[in-house]
Amino acid sequence: MSTKKCATIRCILRKGKTEEAMKRTIWLRPPFWFALSGAFVTLGLAVAAIDPNRTAPSPQEVIASLPPISLHPAAEPSLPPVVIRDRVQQGETLSELLERIGANDPELIDYALAAPEAQPIHRRLLGNGTVTLKLDPTGKVFALQLPLTHGERVTIERDGDRFAVKNNADSSDTTTFLEAREGVISSSLFATADEIGLPYEIASRLAEVFGTEIDFSRDLRVGDAFVVLYETSIDALGNKTVGDIVAAEFTNQGKTYRVLRYTNRDGETGFYTPDGKALGSGFLRYPLKFTRVTSQFGLREHPVTGGMKNHYGVDLAAATGTPVLAASDGRVTFLGWKGGYGNLVILAHRNGYETRYGHLSAYAKGLTPGQKVQQGQVIAYSGATGRVTGPHLHYEVRIGGKPYNPQTVRLPGPEPLPKAELARFLEQTRSTLTQLAAVARRPELVATQQRAQPSQPKG
């Protein structure tokens, strides 16, 4: 394979200098070359390049479903199917569409051009509609879903050496897969997310998940990098729904953090390091998904009264109605109006910690004094009540009743996983870590997690 050809193809795994390393690369853009030999993992993911200077990719998306991954090498690893989604251009014929999106399948083209049952498709193909093409690893099409006028869709399916047309595809047929994105910070997290096509919801979730370790308002630097795997679903009509993060890695100022999502026996979901430790502290540094500090802790000139006065918390930029999150697990000890705070929520946490959330526009539905809340749960919505000049969130952290700077206070660590739960975590997240290791090009991660496996008692 020439260097020139390699430069035109999006890769998941980094190309090595040897031919053997080249065989471990998965190609996801047409033409579909899936040459795998001696690979530690087989992955199919839609990946955005991390080079911010690269030419913007085509809007065409190439997606592969993720099969279960085993750490034990298989003699004949199966290759995942490939899914291509694109839009029909105005005035484009079916044959032109197939050629443009790389469906180099002569049997399908002959069928689409000659079969009587396929002729209505040519007349009713909907411009700007979404087309979904499913191929096997050899490049043969086994399903082609097309948009027609009047909101209808049609599917051409392969059955052996024959094709058949199915009308009115079932919109309840939903495919869920993992997408991967890699980014290098150019100015801000959200600017980078926009550059690489990362959904806003996932960028916000990244800031929330890593918020206990990274202060995204102060600590982010140009050149910091991240890798994220997240769930995406596509229904038969081509509608795309973004799910949650499954695994992620973030390198900030040379230090790398990794998380894996895990749901315990009680149904509680959280993010943990590959060796089973809860990430960072038991507190969110800020109780908003992403924000900036507009007024610091300490002595300041009050923006309303004009006099010098101690500011016992920080003010966080937030438009009215922005969801406010519980910084940690706790219990509601106060909910109501309190002087200059306006509408206020106070939460009590373990070890004498207390958090306050002021100037709220509304409380979460059903929230009452005495109620237990979980970290990250929406407890209220920001506003401009009390003594303020505009909408924002006033946030305080107190320990034993004494206020501390929320930006610098030492936050308590989370509860560790019990030994039995740790063994279950390591077992259930092994394949996820393998996938993250492949995308992040860090095969040593799998060995690291294996060393964390609790020793079994001798019989």
* Segment 116-134 mean pLDDT: 80
* DSSP states along 116-154: GGGHHHHHHBPTT-EEEEEE-TTS-EEEEEEEBGGG-EE
Fold for 83-167, please state it.
Answer: Nuclear Transport Factor 2; Chain: A, (3.10.450)
pLDDT of residue 269: 84
Which phi and psi (to 5°) does residue 205 adopt? -65, -35
Name residue 353's beta-bridge partners.
399
What mean pLDDT comes out for the span 340-345? Answer: 93
Q: Which residue has the tokens 């930029």?
A: 317
Radius of gyration, alpha carbons of the chain = 26
User: 415 with 374: CB under 8 angstroms?
Assistant: no
Mean pLDDT of the region 86-110: 79
Q: Which comes out higher in pLDDT, residue 168 or 113?
A: 113
**How far is the C-alpha of 259 from the C-alpha of 279, rounded, in Å?**
7
- Statement: residue 369 has pLDDT above 90: yes
* Domain residue ranges in the chain: 83-167, 293-404
pLDDT beyond 50 at 4: no
Tokens 């926009």 sit on residue: 194
Q: What is the pTM of this model?
A: 0.46
Give the C-alpha separation, 80 to 46, whole Å.
13
Task: Output the CATH code of domain 293-404.
Answer: 2.70.70.10
The reported pLDDT for the residue numbered 73 is: 41
- For residue 206, give every residue at least 6 positions away whose Cβ sits within 8 Å of its Cβ, in sequence order, or none: 189, 226, 228, 245, 248, 250
Q: Is the per-residue pLDDT at 387 higher than 80?
A: yes
Across the range 200-224, mean pLDDT stands at 88
Among 319, 258, 322, 321, CA closest to 289: 322
**How far, in Å, are 19, 119, 196, 327 from residue 123 at the CA level?**
48, 7, 36, 57
What digits encode the pLDDT tens for the residues 323-338?
999 998 899 999 999 9
- Within 8 A by CB and 6+ apart from 159, the residues are none
Q: Which of 228, 267, 249, 265 is nearest to 374 (CA)?
A: 267
Averaged pLDDT of the chain: 75
Nearest to 126 by CA among 100, 144, 149: 149
Residue 297 has pLDDT above 90, yes or no: no
Q: Contact 125/88 with Cβ under 8 angstroms?
A: yes
Q: In whole angstroms, give the CA distance from residue 358 to residue 386.
A: 8
> Taking the alpha carbons of 37, 38, 42, 46 in that order, is the dihedral positive or negative?
negative
Q: Model confidence at 181, in pLDDT bands (50, 70, 90)?
A: confident
- Which pLDDT does position 95 carry in this prediction? 79
Tokens of 12: 């998941």
Mean pLDDT of 212-229: 88
Give me the sheet containing 175-184, strands edge to edge: 46-48, 175-184, 225-234, 240-252, 255-263, 269-272
